[in-house]
Copies of this chain bind each other. A is one copy, B any other.
Amino acid sequence: MHSSNGPTLLGPRYFKVANAIREDLVRGEFQPGQRLKTNELATRYGTGSNTVREALQQLNGEGWIILAPNRGAVVRPLTRKVIVDIYEMREALEVCTARSFVENASNNDIRELSEIQDRFEEAAQQGDTIECSVLNGNFHRFINQCAGNEEITKIIDNYGRLMSSIRRYVGYGRARADRVISDHRLLIEAFRDRDADRAASITSEHLRVSCEDILANYLTDVDHVAGSFVSDAVGA
């Protein structure tokens, strides 16, 4: 081991390239619909085209780009329809995990969940939107993992980065944070009561409203890519 700068620093090269491309997508460096050519990307990130290809396959699975055989990659335009579709899928799956959580979670799990929620509320109190975003992710991920369906967890995790990037794009206003807080509280309560139906309907409603909130703050006509930096966050 060589002193301290970390052994591999984030694993294989194609991970780093995938991260770099994701960041550039969020920064708006690539336009929706734009073709991503392997050789260009290879020079850009100082790597071989084959490594880029692996990164692109990753991003394809995560919904960022569209990959066609013998055609290459295109930046996926994030139309309102795409956002609705993704949220609808997520709703279907998370309603399912919410039900399983009711069955499978130990009292300890529920306690742990409400600790995440406490930290979330604290972050919201201080207007720390980035932390809010992280903890909100943790909250849902914790439920999904306790639910115990690895297939579903894998799928939702795959889309996680894209979804939180969309969320970051429209911002996380005070009003939204308040709504999230009360939804989460109701959900925890339903878990405590071991009421699967209530947990399911709260989850369903929660995600539906979240999606509507995003669409309301989303630009209407033009197609978008995941980010294009957002300056103001709270109080949007």
Smallest CB separation, A139 vs chain B (Å): 20
Which one, B12, B82, B92, B149, contacts A93 given CB within 8 A?
Answer: B92
A12 adjacent to B70 (CB under 8 Å): yes
Which one, B69, B85, B155, contacts A12 given CB within 8 A?
Answer: B69
Interface of A is mostly: helix
A90 and chain B: residue at smallest CB distance: B151
Smallest CB separation, A38 vs chain B (Å): 13
Which one, B70, B86, B155, contacts A89 given CB within 8 A?
Answer: B155
B149 adjacent to A85 (CB under 8 Å): yes
At the interface, yes or no: A47 with Cβ under 8 Å from chain B? no
At the interface, yes or no: A53 with Cβ under 8 Å from chain B? yes
Smallest CB separation, A216 vs chain B (Å): 21
Q: Are A89 and B149 CB-contacts (below 8 A) given A15-B69, A57-B57, A155-B155?
A: yes
**Count of A interface residues, CB-CB < 8 Å:** 26
Smallest CB separation, A10 vs chain B (Å): 10
Smallest CB separation, A144 vs chain B (Å): 12
* CB neighbours of A82 from chain B (8 A): 150-151
A152 adjacent to B85 (CB under 8 Å): yes
At the interface, yes or no: A88 with Cβ under 8 Å from chain B? yes
A61 and chain B: residue at smallest CB distance: B61
B70 adjacent to A11 (CB under 8 Å): yes
Q: How distant is the Cα of A93 from the Cα of B86 in the complex, in angstroms?
A: 12
* CB neighbours of A11 from chain B (8 A): 69-70
Q: How distant is the Cα of A88 from the Cα of B149 in the complex, in angstroms?
A: 8
At the interface, yes or no: A95 with Cβ under 8 Å from chain B? yes
Q: Are A85 and B50 CB-contacts (below 8 A) given A11-B69, A92-B93, A92-B95?
A: no
Q: How distant is the Cα of A63 from the Cα of B158 in the complex, in angstroms?
A: 14
A150 and chain B: residue at smallest CB distance: B85
Q: How distant is the Cα of A190 from the Cα of B85 in the complex, in angstroms?
A: 24
B151 adjacent to A89 (CB under 8 Å): yes
Smallest CB separation, A131 vs chain B (Å): 28
- Pull 19 A–B residue pairs with CB atoms less than 8 Å apart, ordered by A: A12-B69, A15-B69, A54-B54, A54-B57, A63-B151, A82-B151, A85-B150, A85-B151, A88-B149, A88-B151, A88-B152, A89-B96, A89-B152, A91-B96, A92-B93, A92-B95, A92-B96, A92-B152, A155-B155
